[in-house]
Structure 1
Amino acid sequence: MSDVAQRLDAETKRFDLLEHPFYVAWSEGRLTRDDLSFYSQQYFRQVEAFPTWLSTLSGRIDLDEARSIVEENLADEVGDDHPGLWLAFAESLGVDADAVRGAAVEDETASCVGAFTDAAENNSVPFALGMLYGYESQTPAVAATKIEGLKKHYGIEGPGVEYFELHGELDIEHSSEMARAIDSVCSGDADLAEAATGARAGAAAIWRLLDGVARVRQVA
């Protein structure tokens, strides 16, 4: 692991998503299918917006190496139709695509999406890349836990877990490459501090979305 990744991980761990009460309840089989259905509707907003964040950010990056990394990440997202895979997960819970797309957006979900959107559009490039790292670096471990919980406690397999299987593999590479992109755009300690702050903000934004799901579904 690079020194850059270690510094980013130290900040990301302040919001270790595996320790969020909603994901703990998931791994322990304490969630109802209705809880998971509600989660599928809220988290879809993040999945749906992610390619837009990558596209916006790539247009702001001057360095070829970093821009290429973000563009390759975007190509993976678009090429595999990740929103479509997420909708297959929702379908496995009995929630059709129209219900997911038409669901009311909770304040915490809007805050999460807004934070990433604002970073991609307005914050410094190191900060914005850091936010994406704060999310993607945690995805492989979170995805593995989700898959195990879905199969063990809810009998969901096949298309219902394909999104998580794909991200469990892809985001190992994506997070490593994102750390490399951050390293390339950081010209000094100030830039790296910005990226580290962004990593913490990215993890915190996802945590906040989960807070909203747990609040509505009364998961403690």
Structure 2
Amino acid sequence: MAELMDKEVFREKLEAAVKGNSSEVAPFTNAWAEGQLTREQFAKWVEQHYHYVGPFADYLGYMYSNCPYEDAKDFLLQNMWEEELGGDRHTDLLIRFGEVCGTTRKQVEDPNNMLATTLGLQSWCYAMAMRENFIVATAALIVGLESQVPGIYRKQTPTLREKYRFTDHEIEFFDLHIVSDEIHGERGYQIVLKYADTPELQDRCLKAVQKATEMRRMYIDGIYRAFVDEKPYATL
């Protein structure tokens, strides 16, 4: 019979699950950090990324409806407020960057532009938020997905300034998320460590984090194949 891991061991396993397939080392992330992408390719990324992060407040809202813990509810409300009401909406900052790179708000918001891999990640996020145990959903969306963001953007953002000469105003989306998602990610860890209080819940959380990294990697590799490598997926 499985035993309950102490919080230090559980934290180490969660962190290892994130690092094991992190999008921080994906080919698209590396190409971006090394200055190998064009502004047109950044625009294509925005057109996909919007459909992953655009509904993030919706995911959090579904998680809130399934959450019985007051402290965790407070965190979710704060997170939703920052996404939608705390100054500029995060999606507006993303679209601002996309417009500088040559796309339009209409093009970014058009769901018909979603790659199948982008739709897959978005659908998985909705399914986890709506149907899963709140703790497992937190492990998936906050620990598995949101906690990756600061490392990815710290790798990419210097190149945007130094090589491509974007202004601070144009890339505010990235600077904001380096700070906010580091806070959110840590809060997610603390909630999972506190409320995953059975061996079964700990195991489900670890598996959810692993799946989250797989889903995000599928999504970002889909963008790389479609707009950088330009090799179509094999068909039957």
What is the TM-score normalised by the length of structure 1? 0.94
Counterpart among 81, 91, 95 of residue 87 in structure 1: 95
Count of matched residue positions in the alignment of Structure 1 and Structure 2: 220
Q: Give the structure 2 partner of residue 11 of structure 1.
A: 17
> Percent identity, aligned pairs only?
20
- 1:167 and 2:173 correspond: no
* Residue 4 of structure 1: how far off its partner (Å): 4.0
| C-alpha separation in 2, matches of 1:219 and 1:174 | 33
Q: Give the structure 2 partner of residue 106 of structure 1.
A: 115
Q: Give the structure 2 partner of residue 116 of structure 1.
A: 125
- The SS at the match of 1:158 is coil
Amino acid at match of 1:83: T
Q: Give the structure 1 partner of residue 4 of structure 2.
A: none
| Counterparts in 2 of 1:2 and 1:171: CA distance versus 1, 3 Å | farther
| C-alpha separation in 1, matches of 2:65 and 2:181 | 22
| C-alpha separation in 1, matches of 2:179 and 2:130 | 28
Higher helix share: 1
| C-alpha separation in 2, matches of 1:85 and 1:56 | 24
Amino acid at match of 1:218: V
| C-alpha separation in 1, matches of 2:71 and 2:203 | 20
Q: How does 1:140-155 map to 2 (within 5 A)?
A: 140-155=150-165
| Counterparts in 2 of 1:5 and 1:78: CA distance versus 1, 3 Å | farther
Counterpart among 30, 35, 44 of residue 29 in structure 1: 35
Contact 1:65 1:184 in 2 (8 A): no
Which stretch of structure 1 is more off in the superposition, 107-116 or 1-10?
1-10
Contact 1:129 1:198 in 2 (8 A): no
What is the TM-score normalised by the length of structure 2? 0.88
* Residue 218 of structure 1: how far off its partner (Å): 3.4
Amino acid at match of 1:110: L
Contact 2:149 2:177 in 1 (8 A): yes
Amino acid at match of 1:210: I
- 1:210 and 2:216 correspond: no
Amino acid at match of 1:90: G
Contact 1:66 1:185 in 2 (8 A): no
| Structure of larger gyration radius | 2
| C-alpha separation in 2, matches of 1:170 and 1:219 | 32
Structure 1: gaps spanning 5 or more residues: none
Q: How does 1:159-198 map to 2 (within 5 A)?
A: 159-198=169-208
| C-alpha separation in 1, matches of 2:94 and 2:161 | 16
| Counterparts in 2 of 1:152 and 1:208: CA distance versus 1, 3 Å | same
Q: Give the structure 1 partner of residue 49 of structure 2.
A: 43
- 1:54 and 2:22 correspond: no
